[in-house]
Structure 1
């Protein structure tokens, strides 16, 4: 009877987890692809402000990661806290919706927009950390690849449709500020639905109260986990190359000096990227089950190393759309496998803290890398910055592969 109840709970949680993922991707895809477009086209943001649109959320995120992780580590139940973070993040969409009503110069309005997006990442970062630790308690490790392969395929399909409709809305109304205000308000509503859905997940009961860990204990525990340390170092190399191209892609796609995409074309590019995720998420889950998360992540990151290089080849919109079909295959692989890989190298009793440490490492690179990318672009040109990004990404992929080889040698020696 106990096994039957556990099975029913698992089926219920998988279903609710998928529905919650649908609302999460709705809120994300209503706004995320169009935030840089709003900044560049409506607020006339500078290249520096576009770079800070990537860097500032990373900065605010790392400021709360360790305190958030230490707090989450003390929680016996994480569900209500996770839902609260979703509610708080939703409020920022209301702030963004009211932005065009302010009587400010465009320059200062652009900086206020960057600030709000940065501050919004505080509850979002804590939410992601809490959700990862929470869902790891809810979904058994043996089921995660299958469950998240299914969830990601469904949510990517919904996200693709959302992006198309949102892009069409903005395009039909000529990129008017009120069109963006509408999608910000809708994101708030969807965020509230996401939080309400997450509360329905049945969280496992803890019979023994968890003992919280201090910051000193965390640092000592990380120092002892050599496997985690070398993985985090390799991950940081790849993420630096990945993140330095984020503002470059936005500038390249949306700036009048380059491809000068409309909202409709931004939708097309995003859809092409997402479409391959819809088709390949389940397949990557099977690959990970067969060859392991480590090797699968190497494949995904190596594929992403080609992205900036391809962008440097042309400004033809149809070719860029085709390139994004290719890149979407490896984005799906990397995003899905990275989460499971971090869980794999983190000790079970301090999972939230180690997730936070990994997020802290890549958060630090996310502050510096976008600024570095824009600096290289200003020093040389955008193509040189793309070439360097591809090189660093490939180096990071090789480093992640070396971590897997190190693990294999340690396992054969009986030391892992």
Structure 2
């Protein structure tokens, strides 16, 4: 296994893009609810900030995901979506200047709408990654990307916490600093676009680091599918293989006995199918062009209901995400209304969680390589299931810090393996659609769960609400355990006797 220092420029730019993305998230996500509260927001606004973003994704992800899969311009789509997101950040920076009390709702609406391109960015990026990186290399690269993203996210949390503590003296001054944060998010998103734009400057020389395409048979060891590319990355006159099973395609034509290569940006044909190498006088196959007018086609979902691995993973995801997201507004309400924490203390909580995430990524990567992501995700879910039970008692700031140090370790495991386990269930050629389906389902839970959590809180109290959320998280963890047992059973080799009995039957 090759070390990180030998990785190519593709890995470097993907890691840098992930760092910029995480810094943006850490500049605005922890303060989104506090930003609304400083402008006069209440508990309803807090719940809506958690519920509206996934509601936007519910209506947008699936149709847009199908369209993106057909157009197969994933890299360009990611860049366009990031550009739209940057405009949202610029707009939110000016919301406090609105001389009307409705500015809080305007802010909430902008946050909700921004998740449309935000969710599409994540889905398209994941599909682009799944198309171009396989096997242990994909797992290793994604883990290292997450590790360094967590580290720079940690620095972002520390710097913003210090700024909020030492500079503003009033709520008005804090709002100005929040505006500066959103302006910085705009600038960092532009930088993120530049990094991602440079990703395609890979394999142009054929000698940089690790080649990321899988071998001809499309399989490799490790927890995810695929492996490293074999051969064919030299310049000029080299043979390029067409690999339809994983969606990575190289077009080759002959002109005057000389091989001419065309490398597509996303490694796919325009309609998502592999391109056949034809003689020069062959006519292009465009008989199905007119079918693209219809948005939803049966072919887009062919095999989805028969893919038991994907369906089981979706079921586990729905149950756990419902419980996970149910507690999100409860944590904020507890921090501000019960523990009476300020911005610095909330930042220190995020800092504690980010620190242990960063320190534990390498450990989880080793466990994933040895035991597989399907087992590690159980540990991650179990650790997250414990955290709400801490708040069934009245706890202060020191214990909250300890709880977040503990939760960060398992948050890292869950964040990494959730995507890697999803990759295992994706069929070649329909990855964007499948990812969009999964993200739509988790967006449904993201819309309903915070409102359910707030409803339970209004019917009971914060301690009972936390206990109920924890119980649901335990149920979700058991679902992942059942999935792992099924995956383990499926992976067991069939004995010759059993195989003979099946043939005889």
The Cα offsets for residues 128-183 of structure 1, whole Å up to 9 and x where unpaired, read as 01100112223223212211221112111111111111122223213421111110
Structure 1 residue 47 and structure 2 residue 43: aligned? yes
Q: Indicate the residue corresponding to 2:322 in structure 1.
A: 240
Q: Which residue number in structure 1 is paired with residue 187 of structure 2?
A: 189
Query: Corresponding residue for 2:425?
Result: 345
1:11 deviation in Å?
1.0
The corresponding residue for 2:56 is: 60
In the other structure, the counterpart of 1:32 is 29
Higher helix share: 1
Q: Deviation string for 1:204-260 (max 9, x for gaps)?
A: 6336442479443333421111111111111111111100000111111123xx112
CA-based RMSD of the aligned residues comes to 2.0
Matches within 5 A, 1:145-294: 145-172=139-166, 173-174=168-169, 175=171, 176-202=174-200, 205=264, 206=267, 208-209=269-270, 210-211=272-273, 214-255=296-337, 258-294=338-374
1:95 CA displacement:
1.2
Structure ranking higher on relative contact order (CA contacts 8 Å, 6+ apart): 1
Equivalent of residue 89 in structure 2, options 82, 86, 93: 93
Which secondary structure state, in structure 1, belongs to the residue aligned with residue 446 of structure 2? helix
The change in CA–CA distance for 1:10 and 1:312 in structure 2 (over 3 A counts) is same
C-alpha contact (below 8 Å) 1:13/1:138 kept by paired residues: no
The structure whose Rg is larger is 2
Distance 1:296 1:207, change over 3 A: closer
> What is the TM-score when the length of structure 2 is the normalising length?
0.77
Give 1:366-377 correspondences, 5 Å limit: 366-377=446-457
- Displacement, 1:315? 3.1
Q: Does 1:79 align with 2:75?
A: yes
In structure 1, the residue matched to 2:234 is: none
Of 106, 129, 134, 2:123 maps to: 129
CA distance in 2, matches of 1:254, 1:215: 48
Cα shift at 1:413: 7.1
Match of 2:17 among 13, 20, 26: 20
In structure 1, the partner of 2:278 is none
| Residues 164, 264 of structure 1: 8 Å contact kept | no
Query: Structure 1 regions of 5+ residues with no counterpart?
Result: 1-6
Kept after mapping to 2: 8 A contact 1:79/1:134: yes
2:378 paired with 1:302: no
Where in structure 2 are there 5+ consecutive unaligned residues?
203-262, 274-291, 500-505
Question: Which stretch shows the higher mean deviation, 73-82 or 276-285?
Answer: 73-82
For residues 73-131 of structure 1, give each alpha carbon's deviation from its aligned partner in whole angstroms, at most 9, with x where no partner exists.
Answer: 123341121011111101111111101110111xx222211111000101101100110
Deviations 1:366-390 (A, max 9, x none): 1111000000000000111110111
How far apart are the structure 1 equivalents of 2:18 and 2:310?
A: 28
Report the Cα distance in structure 2 between the residues aligned to 1:148 and 1:413, rounded to whole angstroms.
Answer: 29
Distance in structure 2 (CA, Å) of the matches to 1:102 and 1:150: 42
Secondary structure of the corresponding residue to residue 430 of structure 2: helix
The range that moved more, 43-52 or 199-208, is 199-208
Distance in 1 of aligned mates of 2:365 and 2:355: 16
Which secondary structure does the structure 2 equivalent of 1:260 belong to? coil
Q: Could you tell me how far 1:306 is from its partner in structure 2?
A: 0.6
Partner secondary structure for residue 315 of structure 1: coil
2:105 is aligned to 111
Q: Distance in 2 between matches of 1:104 and 1:9?
A: 56
CA separation in 2, counterparts of 1:168 and 1:312?
A: 31
Distance in 1 separating the partners of 2:319 and 2:72: 35
CA distance in 1, matches of 2:398, 2:489: 46
User: Which residue of the partner structure matches residue 213 of structure 2?
Assistant: none
Residues 329-375 of structure 1, C-alpha deviations (whole Å, 9 max, x = no match): 01111011101111111212211111111111111111111000000
Aligned partner of residue 416 in structure 2, secondary structure: helix
Q: Answer yes or no: is the 8 Å Cα contact 1:146–1:282 preserved in 2.
A: no
Give secondary structure in 1 for the equivalent of 2:429: helix
How far apart in 2 are the matches of 1:219 and 1:250?
39
Answer yes or no: is the 8 Å Cα contact 1:281–1:332 preserved in 2.
Answer: yes
Mapped contact 1:308–1:387 kept (Cα < 8 A): yes
